[in-house]
Structure 1
């Protein structure tokens, strides 16, 4: 196949479909970008759905660990009161590190959560770091957790 790269008559022996306003090479680039954009949008939608479901899954997994209130109590007892207070309140959620969570919860609890969530133990702390603030925030729209029955 011969391709003429320059000039208004740029052609290939197997030409790409004609797209007004683009040369052979620029059309290839734009088609690749639209393909990547479509893939990114599709994956983003799936990941977004998973992220939306994460707080609920986390709340269920924490049931065996004394529930969300039990975990909050452990975090507050470990010196993470300001973070927990921010999650319960209406403002911005303060971050918490994986090492802070590990110190507060302990290895046994992390292992139990891994089993409940169905993810490897080495991923649990990153999952908690990302989703626990949102789970607490969503579970406490009035600033406090509802009483457990």
Structure 2
């Protein structure tokens, strides 16, 4: 699988460890930054990974910041993306199995390297199963399309 990864400065060290781990699992990793602990704003990084998923250049993404919240919010602004914040193995599995999330996010101030690796491994090891979940995902995506066509949500 081709996986996009990105982080802000808060999660740079964790990103480097997670990136090496994903590669050790046999996946191709494309690093979208940041490339040091120098301060950087995360939205552009999240938009970049998410956009490349919608274009088909990447299959999935892993985004990291201090809490994982900001990255998930930013990634979810890209139409067609489903990003889920995951700080445990079960949530990571369900993000893919039940929600077909193309991206997971984590916070470096919340999870350490070993747990982050387990979360990533669980997420990458499963595929969306469809079934009742597909119907729910379709409802979410239909609402997104409706809002996009209207030009606003309210």
Instruction: Give TM-score, length-normalised by structure 2.
Output: 0.24
Q: Rg: which structure is higher?
A: 1
More strand by share: 2
TM-score between both structures, scaled by the size of structure 1: 0.24
Higher helix proportion: 1
